[in-house]
Amino acid sequence: MSFDHESWKLLGEALARLEAGFADLPPFSPGVDLPPLQAVLRQTAERLQDNYPYHHPLYAGQMLKPPHPLARLAYALALWLNPNNHALDGGRASSAMEKEVVADLARLFGWDAHLGHLTGGGTLANLEALWVAAQLRPGQTILASDQAHYTHSRISAVLQLPFAAVPSDAQARLDMAALRARLEQGDVGTVVATLGTTATGAVDPLPEILALQSTYGFRLHVDAAYGGYFTLADNLGAAARAAYDAVPQVDSIAIDPHKHGLQPDGCGCVLFRDPSVGALYRHDSPYTYFTSAELHLGEISLECSRAGAAAVALWATHQLLPPQPGGAFAADLGKCRRAALQLSQKLAADPRFVLPFAPELDIVVWAVNAPTVSAASRRARAIFEAAAARHLHLALAQLPVSFFAAAWRGAAIDQETVTCLRSCLMKPEHLDWLDELWRILDEATAVCHSE
């Protein structure tokens, strides 16, 4: 059995406790006809079998981490009320919970004073941060690394702002010489620094970017949708640690609790260091905000309806596993990082593979040794499929060959990019399963090399 069945027994008792809070209402029966529901639910379960086993340690591909059992239960419990955190009318308790967890997240980065709220995910969090930047730096260019998430260029187009991708260095980080050269051209309103790029988990050199900010006066937004929680890890490398320690000085941050924060999908967060940017959200809405003079979260959000259940689930998780240094939550992040380091050491020692650089977080990328880059790409795809046939699910990434210049010698460069294997070791269980992952990868590689 690989699914958690025991925790669901707690939901009935919690539902009864929730219902007790409404005991003074006149009796009402929702009239649920169970047999048809059961039949359709069984069909649903069968349809859902056509998925990869995202919950299992042998799934080590994309950025998909199972929610904590408590997050699942709290989210489900909230659905009996289905609160909407746009206005206090739609979610009084869940709005209060949201304010608390957003304050928790702000404190991760050293902010007591802040403005922020949960979003539907990292894309919306980044959109909102860049929308604020557009109000404060109208018409000016947005810069991000060529390894930053592709949505930054899309968001810039939506905002009708120019966008430019700055080249990355050999470590897949934003190249500082290239950034300075672009800043010298002028007309830059915002720079996006990424802490945990999607492809490689690279951490942009934030202290150096901040040094340039003092000269060129741009706004600095940190996209930490994937890597934000790693500020709690106690085993980062020196460069990554310096970047996280510099985060309190930036203007805005995006972080996704539905990645490393153990939440169901649909839970991102945007944070601003200066609460006065809330004035940019002012609008007239005579039909929404009338129950109290307290802040309604819809007054500081581009989104209107937002699931209060997401706030409830995150709040419950924070009560059990506070996101604090030295706690159980932080220790699990450290395990993910150790798993990535151990896998990278095995890869670096194996002549069949080419490791471009050590992982900065918990994402590992590697190429397959071959006479040509195109042959290496074909072998990577073959190993990817052979591993999946053995229930080890990795991912593929298309990376510049230049990332491998220091480690890969002798291969004919017949194309500029190489298809690599990629692994997100974002479950703490990956540390205990690493020998099994390596056994399957070794077997899949041996089969592909013999063909």
Q: Which CATH number goes with the domain that contains 219? A: 3.40.640.10
Residue 59 in tokens: 């799934």
Q: What is the pLDDT of residue 291?
A: 59
Q: What is the pLDDT of residues 368-384, one digit of tens each?
A: 999 999 999 999 999 99
Q: What is the pLDDT of residue 29?
A: 83
Same-domain pairing of 301 and 372: no
Q: Is the pLDDT of residue 290 over 60?
A: no
Cβ neighbours for 45, distance < 8 A, ≥ 6 positions apart? none
Which residue, of 285, 303, 320, is where some domain finishes? 320
* Residue 68: inside a domain: no
Same-domain pairing of 113 and 239: yes
* Residue 15: inside a domain: no
Q: What is the pLDDT of residue 38?
A: 95
* Residue 28: inside a domain: no
- Helix boundaries (H) for 34-86: 34-48, 69-78
Q: What is the largest CA-CA distance in the chain?
A: 79
Q: What is the pLDDT of residues 386-419, one digit of tens each?
A: 999 999 999 999 999 999 988 887 788 999 999 9
Closest CA to 52 of 39, 66, 32, 38: 66
Which residue, of 272, 299, 320, is where some domain finishes? 320
φ and ψ at 195, to 5 degrees? -110, 90
Q: Is the pLDDT of residue 142 over 90?
A: yes
Which residue, of 298, 320, 342, is where some domain finishes? 320
Q: Is the pLDDT of residue 286 over 70?
A: no
φ and ψ at 424, to 5 degrees? -100, 105
Q: Is the pLDDT of residue 177 over 60?
A: yes
What gap in Å lies between CA 8 and CA 310, rounded to an integer?
Answer: 18
What gap in Å lies between CA 9 and CA 22, rounded to an integer?
Answer: 22
pLDDT tier for residue 284 given thresholds of 50, 70 and 90: low
pLDDT tier for residue 449 given thresholds of 50, 70 and 90: confident
Cα–Cα distances (Å) from 218 to 110, 123, 130, 151, 315, in that order, read 21, 21, 12, 20, 34
* Residue 57: inside a domain: no
What is the average pLDDT across 419-438?
98
Domain that holds residue 232: 92-320
Q: Is the pLDDT of residue 450 over 70?
A: no
Same-domain pairing of 282 and 402: no
Q: What is the pLDDT of residue 385?
A: 97
Q: What is the pLDDT of residue 342?
A: 98
